[in-house]
Amino acid sequence: MGTPHNNAPQGAFAKTVLMPGDPLRAKFIAETFLENAELVNNVRGVQGYTGTYKGVRVSVMASGMGGPSMAIYSHELFHFFGVENILRIGSAGAISPDLKLMDIVMAQGSCSDSNFAYQFGLNGNFAAIANYELLETAVAVAREKGVEPNVGNVFASDTFYNKSYSPMKWGEMGILATEMESYALYCNAAEAGKRALAICTISDSLVTGEQLSAEDRQLSFRNMMEIALEVAVRMDAK
């Protein structure tokens, strides 16, 4: 059974799905890391692939940009395709002066200016957090690779170009970085009783104005991808 946004047959997706924002990055991951990768969805050009990594079945599919797009795809994967774990892998902008370009951030929690959680009928503000088992596994994998991840809170904004305030104000509350997808993902995982984690690479800094070059972006994103793939392997064994 397909959905309006995903024409994959039942069983086409693995238990764990990696979700970059960019469909071309999903294609790159499938072609670079997965064996026998098969295109299982291409509705609206949002490419989804399933293959194997170290003998374990893993899927990768784009989320698109922003919370609403992530919300659609993660909801459908969790509710209609039997997916248990979604690992967002993408870029983020540093709003902490302690972060450098190419640093990896693992979002323990996600703040937002979005009204996304209103739909759940909660009489208050929902604290969107990562699944601890995924987070603990990802931290262990990163350290084994010689990468010390930055674990903490991120700010998921509904706007990329904001005319009223700067996300730097969130940095004063100890927020590490800003991106756009983690809050909707974490809310959907909580509602579905599933697991989610956002792993991001710092591609630019709102503190210093620095940005990664295309070459550095490819190298640093590869570290993030390999960490997420190894997490998928270890979660499959549990």
Return the active site residues.
204
How far is the C-alpha of 89 from the C-alpha of 112, rounded, in Å? 18
Task: Please tell me the distance from the alpha carbon of residue 19 to that of residue 180, in angstroms, as a whole number.
Answer: 13
- Helix extents (H) in 107-181: 132-144, 168-171
CA dihedral 238, 193, 228, 34 (to 10 degrees): 80
What is the secondary structure of 25-89 as a DSSP string?
HHHHHHHHH-EEEEEEE-GGG--EEEEEETTEEEEEE---SSHHHHHHHHHHHHHHS---EEEEE
**Residue 181 half-sphere exposure, CB side, CA atoms within 13 Å?**
28
Q: Between vectors from CA 181 to CA 66 and to CA 164, what angle results, nearest 5°?
A: 60
| SS3 (DSSP) at 120 | helix
Distances (CA, A) of 61 to 17, 50, 179: 7, 9, 18
Which residue is it, tokens 């990696």?
18
End-to-end CA distance of the chain: 27
